[in-house]
């Protein structure tokens, strides 16, 4: 089986639309770099290591990105590389699960989640949250949304996808 054929089958797996788009965008770039016509079982750990090294040495980001400037002269973030390596490992593990490969060439990859120093994560500080809640106090919808995000750990994309049928107001719960 060719690498591009395996990818086409992998992209048929039922996932959330945004997840599918992310996987497709990155994995198509990966497959193009490795060689779409190559036989799946000819992909070596060295091929993958070279691709990961290339990501680590890139000096531009946001190429063809729908929500960011066309190109920024900066290296890929450690989180981006971590997420991309995770997709590579997941793809090859899926190929093994389906019997397309006897073993994954990506098994050697060590992929520890990058740790951000305390206070430099994506979450806002307690003081910032208090300011946001105060600003939303006269807008019940905004206040409810901020409270949901702060108290539940729900992601913004998950909250944005909520519909009235997903809410159980009496139980103060939502299905995301």
> Above 60 in pLDDT, residue 18?
yes
Confidence band, pLDDT 50/70/90 cuts, at residue 50: very high
Total tally of structural domains belonging to the chain: 2
pLDDT digits (tens, 9 = 90+) for 142-173: 998 888 888 888 888 888 888 888 888 888 88
The confidence score (pLDDT) of residue 66 equals 67
| Any domain includes 29 | yes
What value does the mean pLDDT of the chain take?
87
The confidence score (pLDDT) of residue 35 equals 95
What residues make up the domain containing 65? 3-97
Sort residue 153 into left (φ over 0), alpha (ψ -120 to 50) or beta: left
Q: What is the mean pLDDT of residues 55-62?
A: 85
149 in the same domain as 91: no
Q: Which residues of 57-68 are buried (b: 16+ CB within 10 A; e: fewer)?
A: eeeebeeeeeee
77 in the same domain as 136: no
| Any domain includes 121 | no
> Above 90 in pLDDT, residue 76?
no
| Any domain includes 168 | yes
The confidence score (pLDDT) of residue 11 equals 94
Confidence band, pLDDT 50/70/90 cuts, at residue 75: confident
The confidence score (pLDDT) of residue 88 equals 95
């Amino acid at each position: 089986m060719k690498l591009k054929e395996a990818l086409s089958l992998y992209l048929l797996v039922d996932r959330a639309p945004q997840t599918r788009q992310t996987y497709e965008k990155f994995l198509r770039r990966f497959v193009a770099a490795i060689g779409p016509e190559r036989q799946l079982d000819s992909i070596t750990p060295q091929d993958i290591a070279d691709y990961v090294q290339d990501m680590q040495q890139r000096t531009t980001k946001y190429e063809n990105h729908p929500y960011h400037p066309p190109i920024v002269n900066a290296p890929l973030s450690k989180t981006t590389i971590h997420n991309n390596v995770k997709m590579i490992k997941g793809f090859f593990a899926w190929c093994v699960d389906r019997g397309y490969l006897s073993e994954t060439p990506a098994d050697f990859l060590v992929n520890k989640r990058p740790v951000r120093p305390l206070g430099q994560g994506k979450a806002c500080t307690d003081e910032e949250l208090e300011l946001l809640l105060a600003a939303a106090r006269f807008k019940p919808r905004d206040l409810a949304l901020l409270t949901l995000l702060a108290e539940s750990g729900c992601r913004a994309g998950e909250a944005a996808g909520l519909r009235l049928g997903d809410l159980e107001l009496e139980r103060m719960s939502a299905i995301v």
